[in-house]
Chains A and B, each alone.
Chain A
Amino acid sequence: MEKTLKIIVLVKHVPDAQFDRHLNGEGYTTDRDESILSELDEYALEAALQLAEARGGSKAGNQVIALSMGPAGAVNSVKKSLQMGATEGVHLTDDALAGSDAAATSLALSAAVRYLGQDAPVDLIITGMASTDGETSLVPAQLAERLGLPQVTFASSLEVDGGRLVARRDADTSSETVEAALPALVSVTDQINEPRYPNFKGIIAAKRKSITTLSLADIGVDPAQVGHAGSWTTVTNAEERPPRTAGTIITDEGDAGIKLVDFLAAQKLL
Chain B
Amino acid sequence: MAKVLVFIDNPGNSLKKSSLELLTLARSLGESVVALNGELHNDVAAAFGEYGVSAVLRPSAQDLDDYLVAPKAAYLAAAAQSTGATTVLLDNSPEGKEIAARLGIRLNAGVITDVVGVEADGTAHKSVLAGSYNTACKTTTPVSVLTLKANNVVPEPAAAPSTPETVTVDVPVGSTEAAARITAREQKVASGRPDLTDARIVVAGGRGLDGDFGPVEELADALGAAVGASRAATDAGWISHDAQVGQTGKTVSPQLYISAGISGAIQQKAGMQTAKVIVAVNKDAESPVFEIADFGIVGDLFDVLPQATAEIKKRKG
Contacts and interface: CB of A to CB of B under 8 A. Distances in A.
A244 B280 CA distance: 14
A138 interface: yes
Contact of A136 (B73, B113, B129): B113
A246 B293 contact: yes
Contacts of A149: 178
Interface in B149-192: 178-188, 190
B200 to A, nearest CB: 9
Given A20-B132, A151-B98, A270-B315, A252 B304 contact: yes
Nearest to B256: A269
Of residues B131, B187, B292, B299, which shows the largest number of chain A Cβ atoms within 10 Å of its Cβ?
Answer: B299
Contacts of B201: 269
A115 B296 CA distance: 56
Chain B interface SS verdict (over half) = mixed
Given A17-B266, A236-B136, A264 B180 contact: no
A261 B248 contact: no
Contacts of B196: 172
B134 interface: yes
A207 interface: no
Contact of A190 (B69, B128, B248, B294): B248
Interface residues of B, number: 92
Given A173-B190, A252-B303, A257-B305, A28 B311 contact: no
Given A151-B70, A232-B109, A144 B94 contact: no
Interface stretch (B17-25, B27-35, B38-46, B100-108): B100-108
Interface residues of A, number: 85
B11 interface: no
A136 B181 CA distance: 24
A1 interface: no
B38 to A, nearest CB: 15
Chain A interface SS verdict (over half) = mixed
Interface stretch (B52-60, B82-90, B138-146, B205-213): B138-146
A247 B123 contact: no
B195 interface: yes
Interface stretch (A61-69, A99-107, A212-220): A99-107
B307 A256 contact: yes
Nearest to B176: A150
B194 to A, nearest CB: 11
A12 to B, nearest CB: 14
B98 A234 contact: no
A93 B245 CA distance: 34
A215 B297 CA distance: 55
A136 B188 contact: no
Given A133-B129, A173-B190, A260-B304, A144 B102 contact: yes
A120 interface: no
11 contacts: A30-B129, A135-B114, A136-B97, A137-B101, A142-B104, A146-B105, A167-B180, A239-B134, A260-B297, A260-B308, A267-B277
Interface of A: 17-18, 20-23, 28, 30, 39-40, 101-103, 106, 132-142, 144-146, 148-154, 166-167, 170-180, 184, 190-191, 231-241, 244-252, 254-261, 263-265, 267, 269-270
